[in-house]
């Protein structure tokens, strides 16, 4: 079946970008105006079987719709790519929040916010620096010590002075 792909969304359970089928063209007359007359799960719930009817020519046909998942790629500083991995980000945040009054639930919620922001960009690739800045802006509100720890790893402070500058900015607030 001809299926038009549109609208990148975010699938909570998969943590991935999904593509949804928005409209289907009639295979007989090629018109967009088809309506669904029946839907039922197929292939052990991994697909949906839809019986459709074209509103132009009245012919009926069946589609099988499957969510296509595609992994989000991250671009690292050296321009190499890898698949986005939530657990890596989580690990970095847990280290930054070590012995700080930040709960795992708060870390989880922070990553959710960052992921939503990233997935809403509707890009297939995103730079690690973009993710890092998003994390830092949110971590700053949560715990300043954790923020400085995270920033020191992420921004790779070249020397103690840069680190102190960053601390100074925080203390001035
Ligand atoms: Zn038709």
Query: What's the rounded Cα separation, in Å, for the pair 30 and 103?
Result: 54
145 class by beta-carbon count within 10 Å (0-12 exposed, 13-18 middle, 19+ buried): middle
What is the distance in A from the centroid of ligand 1 to the CA of 139?
53
pLDDT of residue 100: 94
What is the distance in A from the centroid of ligand 1 to the CA of 42?
24
- Over the stretch 57-91, which tens digit does the pLDDT of each residue have? 999 988 877 665 567 889 988 999 998 888 999 99
pLDDT tens for each residue of the chain, 173 residues long? 333 333 333 444 444 434 445 567 888 998 888 888 888 887 666 677 888 899 999 999 888 776 655 678 899 889 999 988 889 999 999 999 999 999 999 999 999 899 888 877 878 889 998 999 999 999 999 999 999 889 888 776 556 666 667 777 766 65
Query: What's the rounded Cα separation, in Å, for the pair 117 and 120?
Result: 5
What is the distance in A from the centroid of ligand 1 to the CA of 35?
11
Give me the residues near ligand 1 (ion), CB cutoff below 5 Å.
Answer: 26, 28-29, 31, 54, 56-57
For the chain, domain boundaries: 3-69, 72-172
* The model's pTM: 0.57
What is the distance in A from the centroid of ligand 1 to the CA of 26?
5
Look at the chain and count its residues. Answer: 173
| Tokens encoding 9 | 């969304």
């Amino acid at each position: 079946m001809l299926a038009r792909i549109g609208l990148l969304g975010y699938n909570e359970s998969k943590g991935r970008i999904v593509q949804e089928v928005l409209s289907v063209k009639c295979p007989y007359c090629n018109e967009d105006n088809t309506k669904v007359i029946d839907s039922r799960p197929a292939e052990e719930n991994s697909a949906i079987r839809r019986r459709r009817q074209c509103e132009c020519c009245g012919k009926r046909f069946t589609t099988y719709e499957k969510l296509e998942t595609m992994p989000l790629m991250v671009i690292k500083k050296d321009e190499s790519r890898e698949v986005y991995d939530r657990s890596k980000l989580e690990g970095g945040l847990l280290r930054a929040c070590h012995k700080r009054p930040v709960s795992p639930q708060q870390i989880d919620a922070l990553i959710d916010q960052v992921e939503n922001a990233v997935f809403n960009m509707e890009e297939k690739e995103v730079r690690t620096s973009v993710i890092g800045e998003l994390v830092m802006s949110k971590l700053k509100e949560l715990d300043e010590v954790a923020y400085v720890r995270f920033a020191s790893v992420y921004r790779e402070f070249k020397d103690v002075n840069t680190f102190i500058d960053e601390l100074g900015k925080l203390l001035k607030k």
